[in-house]
């Protein structure tokens, strides 16, 4: 018969085997738990990467583009009814002023830069955008921005804006319709630039016509028409106002929404209602 010492040794070996078995089982369970956690994290990361990469694609190709369009159409657009007071400079400009239009990149459409040098800062110019959605009458204000008015009139007289479309509209936060790029993508221009004509007191409101830019003194052909709120810093040259009838046309375009193709930055998207300029007429 085994002695007491032998029995104790056998019991010890049995206990050690049981402990080893339990440790192996616990280790397997930990590995399974870690593997499951990693799989979940990978799935979340892959899903985030997919939505991040597709959100910036061409809206015609990305599935979210059509959904964004439908969602925008379903939401009412809150538009102020009263135009903002006409903008005025706190101090008048000298007359004349000096305007320069240096070359800046490739023109999106053949055009000559406007004549620079002495430019009047007096009086206004009446203009009308003949668009596919209706006429948008404008009053161009030389006392506000003579160089911008001079450029706009020159481009209109050379038919630069004809057959161009408005590529972006914002309906929340910044409520404006942006136009003036012959490419329809938001990156085109006339091949020249000119300096900002801003002032610190400048605030934006319904009915304002202003130059779009990509930084200081980069004005070209693109402009935006404010139909509602516009909480912007005073960095965008205001060069005129939009008539009440013109605002009605823009309001209807805004109410139709956009496709969300410029979300989340800079915001907005291509108008759901196509806005093409058939002609821009000026009475200079």
The predicted pLDDT at position 11 comes to 54
The predicted pLDDT at position 117 comes to 97
CB 192 within 8 A of CB 220: yes
Q: How far apart are CA 19 and CA 153, in angstroms?
A: 90
Mean pLDDT along residues 46-60: 28
pLDDT in tens, 246-271: 999 999 999 999 999 999 888 999 99
- List 60's β-bridge partners, or say none: none
Beta strands in the chain (DSSP E): 97-99, 117-119, 124-131, 134-141, 164-165, 168-170, 176-179, 208-211, 223-226, 238-242, 276-283
Minimum mean pLDDT among 28-32, 103-107, 163-167: which range?
Answer: 28-32
Query: What does pLDDT average to over the chain?
Result: 82
Q: How far apart are CA 11 and CA 241, in angstroms?
A: 98
Q: Which of 38-42, 73-77, 220-224 has the highest mean pLDDT?
A: 220-224
* pLDDT-based confidence at residue 45 (cuts at 50, 70, 90): very low
- Under DSSP, the state recorded for 83 is P
- List 279's β-bridge partners, or say none: 130
Residue with tokens 């490419």: 183
What is the pTM (predicted TM-score) of this model? 0.75
Round the CA-based radius of gyration of the chain to a whole number and report it: 32
């Amino acid at each position: 018969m085994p002695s007491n010492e032998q029995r104790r040794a056998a019991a010890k070996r049995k206990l050690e085997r049981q402990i080893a078995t339990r440790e192996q089982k616990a280790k397997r369970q930990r590995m399974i738990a870690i593997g499951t956690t990693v799989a979940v994290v990978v799935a979340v990361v892959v899903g985030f990467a997919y939505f991040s990469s597709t959100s910036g694609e061409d809206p015609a190709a990305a599935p979210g583009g059509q959904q964004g369009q439908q969602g925008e159409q379903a939401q009412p657009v809150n538009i102020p009814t009263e135009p903002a007071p006409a903008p005025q400079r706190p101090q008048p400009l000298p007359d004349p002023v000096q305007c320069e239009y240096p070359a800046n990149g490739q023109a999106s459409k053949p055009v000559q830069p406007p004549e620079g040098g002495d430019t009047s800062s007096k009086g206004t110019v009446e203009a009308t955008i003949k668009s596919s959605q209706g006429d948008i009458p404008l009053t161009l204000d030389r006392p506000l921005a003579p160089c911008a008015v001079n450029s706009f009139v020159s481009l209109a007289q050379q038919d630069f804006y004809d057959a161009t479309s408005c590529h972006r509209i914002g309906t929340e936060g910044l409520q404006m319709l942006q136009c003036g790029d012959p490419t329809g993508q938001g990156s085109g221009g006339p091949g020249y630039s000119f300096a900002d004509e801003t002032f610190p007191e400048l605030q934006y409101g319904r009915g304002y016509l202003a130059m779009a830019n990509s930084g200081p003194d980069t004005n070209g052909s693109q402009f935006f028409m404010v139909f509602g709120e516009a909480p912007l810093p005073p960095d965008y040259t205001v060069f005129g106002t939009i008539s009440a009838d013109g605002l009605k046309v823009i309001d209807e375009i805004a109410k139709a929404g956009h496709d969300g193709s410029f979300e989340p930055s800079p915001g907005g998207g291509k108008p759901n209602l196509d806005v093409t300029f058939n002609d821009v007429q000026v009475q200079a």
